[in-house]
Structure 1
């Protein structure tokens, strides 16, 4: 059973629509300083946290450990230094304590990049973190800082703050040529998305197969800070997902004059992945015969392999269709929610029962996100709800009509008991995923879609046994 922290229960919800309350039960994200995991996702980068005792440990345990048991990596987990600010720092400030920590950290830790992140205590008392970090930067230390107090928002917000801090303070200004075919990818939130490592690997693999050079920036396929230094040299940026990364891409557009391509739906399966690659190719202006031949040859090879596996899968699907779920619900962050909904409707012919987004997207993106669901397929339109509180989410699901067959719920550990109550199957696809050990698994692209199909129908067959 997961031990991710929860808050007190909220008042009962009697309506099917979301209802604002004063607290959140069973949280589905971290606070802004949880972006320390974004730093840890950069090879040979180490976060330094200036916060109260336990803050960084809770972020790691929630986002990385009890979420697929992903591990701490080179600079996360128990490696990340922290000031463990106490009452003394509340009264007298913690600038000196932070300076001492950075100095000692530089003596015993090897890293290509350090990033200081602040918690609520220093942000509330007004510690001037910039004045602490700047002298180290002037000495040539590869270090940046971001103010990520919890009241700034969740770890999605913190992620954008951290990426901008690294770009402005470490990557810096650039005047020079662009590298033809080089792209920067801004997509899934590291560690929070349980399958981010495998997914980013598949994104990079498919883009490279189509003929591009890729700065994937996070995870085992990234070359670390050298990729970050190469950000300004990229021909353009790709934002893959409904909204996360758009703020970064817009900043890069202003800072380096880089255009960006926004693809709101993560590609799952051959149809979506092929469409994604051709969209990128068209945006890049690939028109030469050789470049288009490379692209189409890669697509043909991948589709041939994909549909051969799918052909074999249809034997199972045709035999057991009567016992398989017809309706589904997706509860999770907007990137996976949208992508899964589109795949399940278009590839498997399932009927959307309920879609609930939990990552609290900024209001400016919500109408556009709703529009994606209203055009989920040529003949299928559905609505999406935005809700963060698990109590309210579960009340909504209890009141949803899933028909005469048990539903399949794509959710989190928080939905396991509810799935049993509804006599349905649960596929954990988001934070927290506490009943899965995840190493390199992917659910997107050509290869990830096959893994997803295996997971879905192994789960549903097992649930009916």
Structure 2
């Protein structure tokens, strides 16, 4: 479908109580946060199809990421039916956990509840405690869909593993060890490559890093060392803050909140210097690392300027970002400060809690020394698309950073589109990154390959 903007006037912009083309699944989709930890397997206590839908939506039609060792088709489920609604599902869950212990090889199982079990009041905690002496530990998190979206579920799961598996600790802290809380696994299609690059950068600065999720995590052994860390690093506008506050109360760990995910040399250097200063480390190794990375980074950019300076392809001057808050803020800062593009529309789609929104809005008012913009919060794709169509992008089409849902609107605007968040159906992502030094170069390649291809 191609939208003809001259066909008829746009309809009135009216908000409703419905959400068209959702941009996040429900809380039980945190099963992906569980399976993102090496050798940890979720067990879902929910209705038939719930776990399968989360897998198909987040791990398949979102960059075709796959299920990993313990996700996807591997995930055990009670497949609760009318019987469990009437009589309760505790017996069914008990049977499933026992069978799972016998069949699946894991280091930890995490039971996640769905709407049915939470509504009927199954005492999941009591069932799980029956397996306290099992060969493989079992924890649980109540993640019924009415609790919130998968961002909410992610933090519930993290706290559950910390409280029930990691447990009490009153020993010494390890200087220079940091726990990183950042991207939401699987929801962000590039989370694996991004977390790997974040770990590489922080280690280059002289830190020891618990990255916790992804192929570069040490699994449950790494989670066990969470209390030993000198501090926690929250690298996002809001996701992870509740976990960091919980760790501060539980283990007396301070945390550093850096709301902007680093993309490009300047953002990386700023992050490294803030973290090194917070940790009280010798800055010399960090400065040497920054210098080495910047030499390589800017040498690539020097070659890129030959293309950028010519403007043979009519490069866009303005852009729109329609994504979760972490990528939205990071991309906006990078596009303004690195490429000199003009922000025209920024819409955050992950429904951040109200308490965090003023601080997020403040970040957009200081995008650069001489650039300020506003950000909107919206979940409904109908409203998002209507706002996109009403935005004045000037005489040239913009470049849009969004999702598969924006492709038809982008065609009508004759605008190139880069898919950056859920759902990202027209990308296949394995280890690609958009953050750090290396990820920024990959992002530049993606942006301008998309623009050139759209001009052909």
* Structure 2 length-normalised TM: 0.97
Residue in 2 that maps onto 1:113: 108
Asked whether the 8 Å contact 2:313–2:452 carries over to 1, the reply is no
Q: Per-residue deviation at 1:180? A: 1.1
- Contact preservation (8 Å) 2:107, 2:136: no
1:316 partnered with 2:339 = no
Query: In structure 2, how many angstroms separate the alpha carbons of the residues matched to 1:218 and 1:142?
Result: 19
Match of 2:122 in 1: 127
Match of 2:357 in 1: 366
Q: Which residue of 1 aligns with 2:183?
A: 188
Tell me if 1:137 matches 2:132: yes
Q: By how many angstroms is 1:141 displaced?
A: 3.7
**Number of residues of Structure 1 aligned to a counterpart in Structure 2:** 448
C-alpha distance in structure 1 between counterparts of 2:15 and 2:360, whole Å: 20
Aligned counterparts of 1:262 and 1:39: Cα–Cα separation in 2: 23
1:43 to 38, 43, 47: 38
The answer to whether the 8 Å contact 2:321/2:346 transfers is yes
Q: Give distance in 2, aligned partners of 1:442 and 1:324.
A: 23
Which of the numbers 405, 408, 415 marks the counterpart of 2:406? 415
Aligned residue number for residue 297 of structure 1? 288
Contact kept in structure 2, 1:13 and 1:392, CA below 8 Å: no
1:164 to 159, 172, 175: 159
The Cα of 1:21 is off from its aligned counterpart by 1.7
Partner of 1:270: 265
Secondary structure at the aligned position of 2:322 is classed as strand
CA distance in 1, matches of 2:303, 2:256: 36
User: Could you list the per-position Cα deviations for residues 373-431 of structure 1 after superposition, in whole angstroms to 9, with x for gaps in the alignment?
Assistant: 01111111100010001011000000000000011000000011110010100000000
Q: Contact between 2:316 and 2:399, CA under 8 Å: does it hold in 1?
A: yes
Task: Confirm or deny that 1:175 pairs with 2:170.
Answer: yes
Alignment of 1:292-441 (within 5 A): 292-320=283-311, 323-441=314-432
The CA RMSD over aligned residues, in Å, is 1.2
User: Which of these residues, 141, 145, 156, is aligned with residue 146 of structure 1?
Assistant: 141
How many angstroms does 1:444 deviate by?
0.3
Q: Output the CA distance in 1 between the equivalents of 2:340 and 2:173.
A: 43
* Corresponding residue number in structure 2 for 1:14: 12
Q: Distance in 1 between matches of 2:287 and 2:226?
A: 27
Q: Normalization by structure 1: what TM-score? A: 0.95
5+ residue gaps, structure 1, are 2-11
Q: Secondary structure at the match of 2:21?
A: coil
Deviations 1:22-73 (A, max 9, x none): 2111110010000000000000000000000000000011111111100100
Aligned counterparts of 2:438 and 2:306: Cα–Cα separation in 1: 20
The Cα shift of 1:14 comes to: 2.1
Give the Cα separation in 2 of the matches to 1:398 and 1:377.
26
The 3 A distance-change label for structure 1 pair 33 and 324 is: same
